[in-house]
Structure 1
Amino acid sequence: MTDTLDRLPPLREVIQRHGLAASKALGQNFLLDGQLLDRIARVAGDLAGQPVYEVGPGPGGLTRALLRAGAYVTAVERDARCLPALAELGEAAPGRLAVIEGDALAIDEPARLASGTRIVANLPYNVGTALLVRWLEAEPWRPWWASATLMFQKEVAERIVARPGTDAYGRLAILAQWRASAAIALPVHRSAFVPPPKVMSAVVHVVPQPAPPGAATATLSRLTAAAFGQRRKMLRQSLKAVPGALDALAGLGIAAERRPETVAVEEWVALARLLGPAPGGEKIQG
């Protein structure tokens, strides 16, 4: 059976017919511009015949673009109002769309998705950072996902790709750049969304790299939490509560008078490696 995606009604009509007003509580902002959605899908590369994971498809705008590109899409959606519209989309692309109703934060992705899956999503603003952190903390490394093409608020996107010495540089940049390469691929104006958010957005493309030299994620998390929790203070002050941190700084020749935003990713990883595994399981957040 051939796809009938080209016969689908416009997204605005689908939204109106199913009563899909964007939910602020769910962090929803819908993209309706088909050309822009196709551009976002192209950032992920050639998707023909490839498995793709989408979080928060809503009425299915980006889903349409992914299917038009030939992808086999698994989408997770917690808003039950959107399921009938997604079901119609699945009928138009037989066998190429599977929809999971639920919270993406509760999905066991490695158990449900094929290794090498590409993540492509206009992430709900209220869970976007938490999801990216989870994907970057995946064990073992390299992870189950081959790339992640993700829409974020522009401010968050800039934090992911920030370089040392900038105000945006912090824990999220360190985690992303430790294990992956990340770049802003496409700016998206607020006017492209319905309803328009108060902030600009950007698409970030993240590609996991080979396993870096060993450093416990929990240790790196603990160090950066302490340092960037007091980012205007010198390391000798912000890290004094982390056992062994000041001695490790000295051992690596990292001046304790420096501030955390001046310390490169490689230096943070070296510090975490020298300290070894940390107790507990602290996670890097934004």
Structure 2
Amino acid sequence: MSAIDDLPPLRAVIAEHGLSARKSLGQNFLLDLNLTAKIARQAGDLRGSDVLEIGPGPGGLTRGLLAEGARRVLAVEKDSRCIAALEEVARAYPGRLEVMNADALEIDVAARLTPPIRIVANLPYNVGTELLTRWLDPGHWPPFWSSLTLMFQREVAERIVAAPGTKAYGRLAVLAQWRSDARIVMDLPPEAFTPAPKVRSAVVHLVRRETPRYPADARQLQRVVAAAFGQRRKMLRASLKSLSPNIEEVLSSVGIAPTERAEQLDLSQFCALARALETPK
């Protein structure tokens, strides 16, 4: 399993550095280096790209990214126990790996990377969705990254790619599909990880769109979607009444029946509604 480079197998690395996975950090380690290299390949041709990796742990995916030709990898790891193991990887790939002992939620990494930039990560379960929403809603568009290749619990992955009318369709689907093209590219069973989680996992590949799929103000769209899905069982005339005293008139003006519910609207309708709410009715 260590055929991708001359470094020791990950089980030996974990044993040497005492890297038992910590539930408090959302850690589940992938030990099959052939599998981590396969995940790296889902990001596309990495040659000529800088890569940001969050939560590298003992460095399995890091090694896959470097072996697949990433120009440079910035690995951000909160767990200080993992730094020595990652520094060993850095020495094996001189000048191509920078390791940061930091919390990814608290730092700005864009200045440390050179475009084109790809983000590839087996995200810690406890911060994965928050990081994704930050990358999809950075305050300006296009963002610093060109693609995201991220591992989530299968349930979260399905929410990202969900279609209208399905149980998984919600705020995350609207946000992701408004500004990117998203698809599930890999499935992983629990036994691929140590320790094995109780759920299946999946890798989602998102490619940014240079402009959003439909015109809308980002903040207004967020307000509409949050209100609609915050009370998803209610009709829109009830769930959106806080956004306008004339919400039924606004809905009708863009061809949406006030009796519809949030999961029945597609992305174009949410954007049309956001635009209509910018204009007093």
Give aligned pairs, total.
274
The structural deviation recorded for 1:167 is: 0.3
CA distance in 1, matches of 2:21, 2:5: 25
Q: Does 1:23 align with 2:22?
A: yes
AA of the residue aligned to 2:237: R
Which residue in 2 is equivalent to 1:203? 203
Which residue in 2 is equivalent to 1:11? 10
Q: Quick check: 60-69 or 45-54, which moved more?
A: 45-54
Q: Which digits, 9 at most, give the CA deviation of each residue in 1:192-234, with x for residues without a partner?
A: 0000001000000000112124322221111111111111111
AA of the residue aligned to 1:35: N
Which residue in 1 is equivalent to 2:134? 134
Name the TM-score, length of structure 1 as normaliser. 0.92
What pairs with 1:164-203 in structure 2 (closer than 5 Å)?
164-203=164-203
CA distance in 2, matches of 1:10, 1:23: 20
Q: Does 1:253 align with 2:255?
A: yes
> Are 1:5 and 1:92, in contact at CA under 8 Å, matched by a contact in 2?
no
Q: Quick check: 218-227 or 17-26, which moved more?
A: 218-227
Q: Which digits, 9 at most, give the CA deviation of each residue in 1:74-129, with x for residues without a partner?
A: 01111000000000000000000001111101121322222320000000001100
Which residue in 2 is equivalent to 1:115? 115
What pairs with 1:1-286 in structure 2 (closer than 5 Å)?
6-71=5-70, 72-212=72-212, 213-243=214-244, 245-276=247-278
Aligned alpha-carbon RMSD (Å) = 1.5
**Structure 2 alignment gaps of length 5 or more:** none
Q: Find the residue that maps to 1:145 and give its secondary structure.
A: coil
The structural deviation recorded for 1:174 is: 0.2
CA distance in 2, matches of 1:9, 1:112: 29
> Are 2:153 and 2:202, in contact at CA under 8 Å, matched by a contact in 1?
yes
AA of the residue aligned to 1:255: A
Q: Quick check: 212-221 or 162-171, which moved more?
A: 212-221
AA of the residue aligned to 1:225: A
AA of the residue aligned to 2:44: G
> Are 2:235 and 2:258, in contact at CA under 8 Å, matched by a contact in 1?
yes
CA distance in 2, matches of 1:63, 1:14: 13
Identity percentage of aligned residues = 59
Name the TM-score, length of structure 2 as normaliser. 0.94
CA distance in 2, matches of 1:231, 1:84: 47
> Are 1:235 and 1:257, in contact at CA under 8 Å, matched by a contact in 2?
yes
Q: Find the residue that maps to 2:24 and give its secondary structure.
A: coil
Q: Find the residue that maps to 1:75 and give its secondary structure.
A: strand
AA of the residue aligned to 2:33: G
Q: Which structure's relative contact order is higher, taking Cα pairs within 8 Å and 6+ residues apart?
A: 1
> Are 2:4 and 2:33, in contact at CA under 8 Å, matched by a contact in 1?
no
